[in-house]
Amino acid sequence: MGEVLVLLGSMVLVFFAAILFVNAIEYVGFRHRLGSSFVGAIIAPLFTSVPEMTVFLVAVFASGKAAGEEIGIGTLFGQPFMASSMSYGLVGIAALVGFLLKRRDKSFLVVDKSLAVPYIFITILFPLALIPGIIKADLVKHMFALIFLAAFLFYIWLMFRKKGAELIEECEECYFHKRGKKVIASPMVAALVQIAVAGGILYFGSKNMVNSVDDLAQSMGMSALGLALILVPAATAIPETASALIWGYRGKDTLSLGSLVGEKILYSTFYPGLGLFVTAWDLDKHAYFSVAATTAVSLILLYYILKGRLPWFGLMTGLFFFVAYAILIFVVHF
């Protein structure tokens, strides 16, 4: 019971830090007009994914536990799985609720077909992350690392030519400035202080969460990778999901999906490349489940995106995989 309480406490800290960090970094980008440029739309996901990357780096380099690499790899495979299963499912629910409450005109999402490009990348590239885990050779591992990094650069070039990146046109005020104008008058200074505070909380919470996941996995007799795959994104992916929910509810459909797909591209290109360079990339059945579920949902979404309209029930198909995996992990001890 104590392990569970420590884990929940550290997840709350990481969740709180992620909200603070994403809010501040989006505000800084908005104030510097990064959100109204192609560069900002491409670079923004790199910054908003810092909470997940902090957990990954702490797990691999600072946890001091043998299971650190497993938890780090679970983090990399967990974010695309969480976006494909829970996040998209919740957006589907938000769209349906928005339609029933007459906050949007249609129960389905009308999306720009240019979003098909990142989903094609995800569908093709994410499954390739399994190959270096099957073929155990440093040459293969490093070759695929370079392929993933090159694919990320190619995606940037391709989207630059198409100008297809979805731009963020609005941003919530920095929390530290909103709540403490008498203490910090400058909104930019408040945002920078908020980033520093969030970073400190994020590191402390991440270290405790990694240790807790390892302890809980050992006590349950299961894979640390498999447990991290569902627990870490639950704490770090909520800020992006919350934005997507709001935009889906209000009828800003392309923006809603675009806010989620940016990080999925990173976790299908940039982060696998990084992970292959700094870990042994030892995968298990949980990574295979993540790839299978993420690819299946991406194919479903790609089909509807090419038609220009995405029904709410199409988005909610991912919830089946989330519930199924949660049952396998916590009930069956998969």
pTM of the shown model: 0.83
What confidence tens digit (pLDDT) does each residue in 13-58 have? 888 888 888 788 777 777 766 554 455 456 666 776 788 888 898 8
Report d(CA 259, CA 148) in Å as an integer.
21
Surface-to-core class of residue 213, CB atoms within 10 Å of its CB (0-12 exposed, 13-18 middle, 19+ buried) = buried
**1 pLDDT band (50/70/90 cuts)?**
low
Q: Amino acid identity, residue 303?
A: Y
Q: Concatenated DSSP letters for 152-178? A: HHHHHHHHHHHT-PPPP---PPPHHHH
Q: What percent of the chain has pLDDT over 70?
A: 87
User: If you average pLDDT over each of 36-45, 75-84, 248-257, which comes out highest?
Assistant: 75-84
**330 pLDDT band (50/70/90 cuts)?**
confident
Report d(CA 234, CA 87) in Å as an integer.
10
Helix (H) or strand (E) holding 119: helix 116-125
What confidence tens digit (pLDDT) does each residue in 128-166 have? 999 999 999 999 999 999 999 999 988 888 766 765 444
Go through the domains of the chain in sequence order and give each one's CATH number. 2-330 (1.20.1420.30)
pLDDT value for 119: 86
Q: Amino acid identity, residue 329?
A: I
| Alpha carbons within 13 A on the beta-carbon side of 167 | 13
